[in-house]
């Protein structure tokens, strides 16, 4: 199954969000949105992705 994570195309075996984040090397703190919708951390454990989903993994950065 193909998804994108932070704009990068990825072929994945498991559709479980937590495994995808782990394989991507996600480092806390971060927040996740899928197809433009915020997915709270409390829902990560049960969340399963679908073909073509777009994951955004965001972390703190400088801001003005």
Partner 1 sequence: MQTKDCLTIYGEQINSRLLIGSALYPSPAVMEESIKASGSQIVTVSLRRQQSAAAGDDFWQLIKNTGLKILPNTAGCHSVKEAVTLAKMCREVFATDWIKLELIGDDYNLQPDPFALLEATKILIDDGFKVLPYCTDDLVLCQRLNELGCEVLMPWGAPIGTGKGLLNSYNLKIIRERLPNTTLIVDAGLGLPSHACQALELGYDAVLLNSAIAGAGCPITMSRAFKAAVEAGRFAYKAKAMPEKDLAAPSTPTMGMPFWHQQ
Q: What is the dihedral of CA 32, 5, 28, 31, to 10 degrees?
A: -10
Q: Shortest approach of partner 1 to residue 57 CB, angstroms?
A: 5
Tracing tokens 């955004």 back to the chain, one arrives at 56
Give whichever of 11 and 27 is closer to partner 1, judged by the CB atom. Answer: 27
Site for partner 1 in 5-64 (CB under 8 A): 6-7, 25-27, 29-33, 36-38, 40-41, 56-64
Distance (Å, whole) CA 62 – CA 41: 23
Residues that bind partner 1 (CB under 8 A): 6-7, 25-27, 29-33, 36-38, 40-41, 56-64
């Amino acid at each position: 199954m193909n998804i994108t994570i932070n704009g990068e195309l990825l072929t994945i075996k498991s559709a479980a969000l937590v495994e995808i984040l782990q394989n991507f090397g996600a480092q806390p703190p971060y927040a996740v949105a899928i197809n433009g919708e915020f997915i709270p951390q409390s829902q990560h454990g049960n969340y399963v992705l679908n073909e073509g989903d777009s994951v955004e993994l965001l972390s703190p950065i400088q801001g003005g």
